């Protein structure tokens, strides 16, 4: 049965109330209590590789073993793999849809939707039951994927993908972004590598996710004890006693101490020299950057050419002087949600950048 919660309702999820531009209403089916559990959203490319599928299964399986709820967007590819593996392992999963719950998107995953509900999982959306998915709703959906979680794990992502949009939302919401590193020639990993370069947390093990949260405790698997024979234990003990008996004379000890002291001084001097070199190089780079900035101030900014008709109206308003969303709204009469979506895409495609004073265009 599909139910709904309004923002003003006491039961409305607190984690969604805290995000910028929270949904006014959420429609859901399944176990709503899952929103109060620790959630990690696993996301990635629709056209995922076999390696990406295997990595998704590995992390989903291990996170479920640690009693973590797995969320994703139920899209084809990494998302679906995350949901499927979670169910296979007996875990709990949440699907966040870009459409109404009576108009499941994608249609290929209708059976997966039913299985999630059957296995005490949860499906949520901010759209009325019959609403169809469209480009705008995918972007809006992504902020909920990150909003309900304590962090997002990006398995695979192409350059300038929807996954990158979710990462941007997560950062704005103060959530942690984890990413799997990829080979530099792998197009499916260009997005993840770029996110790591910009500050996403590189991980290769599930335990590394837990190390980022003080309130989570990683439970190690029980290790098998290796029983040693008495004879081996006896031999080890004899060697230990024999070593203790080999005491050096005071003179030998003094010579050893002097050698260690000299070595310590050499190491200390070496480190100081390296630090001085680094400091000088940093000062050099700082001065160089300052000069470049000064030179740039005297150059007239040339905008990139944007050929996307959907973005042009807003892009033409953005110049080297920052402009706010409210100013854009006054000049275009567009909805805030629509402006936000377009600004995100322009930012992803490297046309503009967000500053303290608003948005400004990037140089050609």
Task: Give per-residue pLDDT as tens, 235-278.
Answer: 444 454 454 445 555 656 567 667 766 776 665 565 566 556 65
Give the separation between CA 81 and CA 61, rounded to whole angstroms: 11
pLDDT tens, residue by residue, 133-145: 988 899 899 999 9
CATH 1.10.10.10 fits 309-361, yes or no: yes
- Counting residues of the chain whose pLDDT is more than 90, the rounded percentage is 51
Mean pLDDT along residues 223-243: 41
The domain locations on the chain are 3-210, 309-361
Say what the pLDDT of residue 61 is.
Answer: 96
Q: What is the mean pLDDT of residues 59-87?
A: 96
pLDDT at 18 over 50: yes
Please indicate whether residue 256 or residue 131 has the higher confidence score (pLDDT): 131
Is residue 189 scored above 50 in pLDDT?
Answer: yes
Max avg pLDDT among 200-209, 249-258, 347-356? 200-209
DSSP string computed for 9-22: STTS-HHHHTSSS-
Mean of pLDDT values over 166-187: 91
Its pTM stands at 0.65
Q: How far apart are CA 312 and CA 308, in angstroms?
A: 6
pLDDT computed for residue 288 by the predictor: 66
Asked if residue 175 lies in contact with residue 152, where contact means CB atoms within 8 angstroms, the answer is yes
Tell me the average pLDDT across 47-75.
95
Rounded-to-10 torsion of CA 261, 265, 268, 272: 170
Q: Identify the band that residue 357 occupies on the pLDDT scale cut at 50, 70 and 90.
A: confident
Model pLDDT, residue 238: 47
| In the predicted structure, residue 223 carries a pLDDT above the cut 50 | no
- Rounded to an integer, the average pLDDT of 214-226 is 67
Residue 235: predicted pLDDT? 45
Identify the CATH number of the domain defined by range 3-210: 3.40.50.450
| pLDDT greater than 80 at residue 301 | no
Q: What is the mean pLDDT of residues 323-333?
A: 90
172 touches 21 (CB < 8 A): no
Q: What is the DSSP pairing of strand 39-43 with strand 69-72?
A: parallel
Q: Are 58 and 153 in contact (CB under 8 A)?
A: no
Q: Do 3-210 and 309-361 fold alike per CATH? A: no
């Amino acid at each position: 049965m599909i139910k709904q919660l309004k923002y003003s309702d006491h039961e409305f999820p607190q984690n969604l109330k805290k995000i910028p531009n929270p949904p006014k209403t959420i429609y859901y089916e399944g176990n709503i209590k899952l929103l109060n559990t620790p959630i990690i959203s696993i996301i990635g490319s629709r056209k995922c590789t076999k390696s990406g599928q295997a990595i998704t299964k590995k992390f989903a399986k291990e996170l479920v073993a640690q009693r973590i709820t797995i969320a994703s967007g139920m899209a084809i590819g990494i998302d679906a793999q995350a949901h499927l593996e979670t169910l296979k392992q007996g875990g709990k999963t949440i699907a966040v849809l870009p459409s109404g719950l009576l108009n499941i998107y994608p249609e290929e995953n209708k059976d997966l939707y039913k299985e999630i509900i059957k296995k005490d999982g949860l499906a949520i959306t901010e759209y009325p039951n019959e609403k169809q998915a469209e480009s705008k709703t995918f972007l809006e959906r992504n902020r909920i994927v990150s909003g309900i979680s304590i962090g997002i794990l990006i398995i695979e992502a192409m350059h300038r993908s929807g996954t990158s949009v979710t990462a941007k939302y997560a950062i704005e919401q103060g959530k942690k972004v984890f990413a799997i590193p990829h080979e530099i020639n792998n197009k499916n990993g260009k997005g993840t590598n770029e996110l790591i370069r910009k500050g996403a947390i590189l991980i290769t093990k599930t335990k590394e996710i837990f190390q980022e949260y003080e309130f989570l405790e990683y439970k190690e698997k029980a290790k098998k004890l290796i029983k040693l024979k008495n004879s081996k234990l006896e031999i080890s003990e004899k060697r230990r006693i024999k070593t203790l008996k080999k005491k050096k004379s005071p003179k030998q000890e003094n010579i050893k101490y002097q050698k260690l002291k000299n070595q310590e001084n050499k190491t200390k001097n070496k480190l100081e020299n390296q630090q001085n070199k680094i400091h000088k190089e940093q000062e050099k780079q700082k001065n160089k950057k300052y000069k470049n900035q000064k030179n740039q101030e005297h150059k007239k900014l040339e905008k990139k050419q944007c050929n996307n008709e959907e973005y042009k109206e807003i892009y033409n308003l953005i110049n080297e002087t920052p402009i706010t969303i409210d100013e854009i709204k006054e000049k275009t009469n567009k909805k805030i949600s629509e402006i936000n979506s377009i600004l995100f895409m322009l930012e992803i495609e490297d046309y503009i950048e967000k500053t303290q004073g608003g948005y400004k265009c990037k140089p050609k």
